[in-house]
């Protein structure tokens, strides 16, 4: 369930062609001569008939339900879907004024054969409303765009449930939201292995780990639900030993058995036979920030396995999928840490070793009990979910609000009371509490905005919390004295 502000942002991103979706067209594309070439930003979920009107709400519903429900049918069929609990189908009456984020369905008059569908962008009044839609021109080639509609043929609205916004803390809050740093050191591992097929025993310990990117959208729980009872035909298309994301790990196959994860057979000496495969989940779906968290879970789990087997972390024991077969995997890790996009260009030996060495360094730190510093290449463009439209000389990204930001992992302990805020790095944002002298937090982002340098940490309740740690002069880029210590 999403808040109204999250919904509003999603709709803006659709309109601007930058939505964080695996189904967003990234470059001019055409595979069906019956329609126009799709422009960047168009939504094409089913990869059929180009960017049809139904593709937009299908993607929207997948996002609203965290990829758990996919609508079926033509536009006119959407009201017949059995949506999750809390969703409503309401008839359009003369007195109806829709709200932003509702899904408008046209099924009568000229729309009777297939229907038409879009998302309410501005509820307007009983005479007209503003709709966000695709394929109004019939060529299925444009990104979502806005149009004022007079309700002709509109028979139903699909109303998703909306979560409550973050409430402002009470004025007498004395303490900043606490952070459970120790709790983050443990990894939740589901060891309920696959049941639909018995994999062959290796007969000895693995000789290496292989780090994959899943090129998908599912988390570890969803992989478990999809694969735990899968038959041979499904598993033969590929299955790793483990699936990792920021919330946990599913070990699908025990370490003493062979998995089919690098496509090079099962004979002794092959990658499948000799190695243990770990998938970093959601490489086609989440923001860079969340993907890096997923990646760290996988690397920490790899460190645990290598240490258990008595193996060091080096170029022989930490491997990449593309070392065994021709593939872009691990594509997103390569883009973040090696500066190449293997979906568009061939791997070079230098890029391959650069990524391997980064993984090795991270794994070695975890094997020592340390928390490694996460780094990304400086020339990487921001993702749609972390919009960066320009970059300054020192590698800072700059978003549409004029906030300079970058990833940084360290701890901060104040020497004076500091107000903390929800939402973002502005003193006008809701105050969440006060970080007291001596209270240590572990932060992952630093930025410059509103006359201050800010850091952000994730509280125990899962919310991002922001606090200023020194003054900043935007004109000179000079900073004041630090209000504590960083380690």
Q: What amino acid positions are annotated as catalytic residues?
A: 53, 116, 133
Residue 265, classified by CB atoms within 10 Å of its CB into exposed (0-12), middle (13-18) or buried (19+), is: middle
State in Å, rounded, how far the first CA of the chain is from the last one. Answer: 37
CA distance 99 to 102: 6
Q: How far is CA 274 from the centre of its chain?
A: 31
Place of tokens 């996009």: 341
Q: How far is the C-alpha of 462 from the C-alpha of 179, rounded, in Å? A: 9
């Amino acid at each position: 369930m999403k808040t109204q502000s999250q919904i509003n942002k999603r709709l803006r991103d659709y309109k601007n062609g930058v939505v964080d979706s695996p189904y967003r067209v990234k470059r001019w594309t055409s595979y069906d001569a019956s329609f126009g070439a799709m422009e960047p930003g168009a939504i094409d979920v089913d990869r059929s008939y180009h960017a049809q009107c139904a593709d937009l709400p299908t993607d929207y519903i997948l996002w609203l339900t965290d990829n758990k429900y996919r609508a079926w049918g033509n536009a006119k069929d959407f009201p017949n879907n059995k949506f999750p609990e809390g969703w409503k189908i309401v008839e359009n009456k003369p007195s109806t004024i829709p709200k932003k984020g509702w899904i408008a369905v046209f099924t009568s008059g000229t729309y009777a054969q297939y229907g038409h569908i879009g998302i309410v962008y501005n509820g307007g009044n009983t005479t007209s409303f503003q709709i966000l839609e695709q394929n109004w021109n019939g060529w299925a080639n444009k990104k979502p765009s806005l149009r004022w509609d007079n309700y002709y043929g509109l028979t139903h609205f699909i109303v998703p449930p909306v979560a409550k916004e973050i409430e402002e803390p009470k004025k007498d809050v004395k303490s900043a939201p606490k952070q459970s740093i120790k709790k983050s050191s443990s990894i939740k591992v589901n060891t309920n292995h696959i049941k639909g097929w018995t994999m062959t025993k290796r007969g000895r310990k693995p000789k290496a780990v292989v780090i994959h990117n899943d090129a998908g959208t599912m988390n570890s729980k969803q992989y478990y639900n999809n694969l735990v009872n899968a038959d041979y035909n499904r598993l033969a298309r590929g299955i790793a030993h483990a699936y990792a994301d920021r919330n946990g790990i599913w070990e699908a196959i025990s370490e003493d058995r062979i998995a089919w994860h690098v496509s090079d057979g099962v004979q002794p000496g092959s990658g499948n036979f000799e190695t243990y495969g770990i998938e970093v989940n959601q490489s086609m779906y989440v923001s860079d920030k969340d993907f890096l968290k997923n990646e760290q879970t996988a690397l920490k789990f790899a460190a645990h396995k290598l240490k258990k087997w008595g193996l060091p972390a080096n170029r022989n024991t930490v491997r990449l999928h593309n070392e065994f077969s021709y593939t872009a995997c691990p594509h997103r890790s390569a883009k973040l840490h090696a500066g190449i996009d293997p979906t568009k260009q061939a791997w070079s030996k230098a890029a391959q070793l650069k990524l391997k060495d980064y993984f090795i360094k991270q794994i070695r730190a975890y094997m020592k009990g340390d928390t490694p510093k996460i780094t990304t290449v400086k020339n990487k463009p921001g993702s749609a979910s972390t919009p960066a439209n320009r970059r300054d000389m020192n590698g800072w990204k700059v978003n549409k609000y004029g906030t300079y930001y970058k990833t940084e992992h360290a701890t901060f302990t104040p020497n004076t009371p500091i107000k903390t805020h929800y939402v973002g790095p502005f003193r006008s944002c809701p105050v969440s509490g006060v970080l007291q002298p001596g209270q240590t937090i572990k932060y992952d982002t630093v930025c410059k905005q509103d006359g201050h340098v800010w850091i952000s940490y994730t509280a125990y309740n899962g919310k991002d919390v922001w606090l200023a740690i020194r003054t900043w002069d935007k004109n000179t880029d000079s900073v004041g004295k630090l209000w504590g210590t960083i380690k």
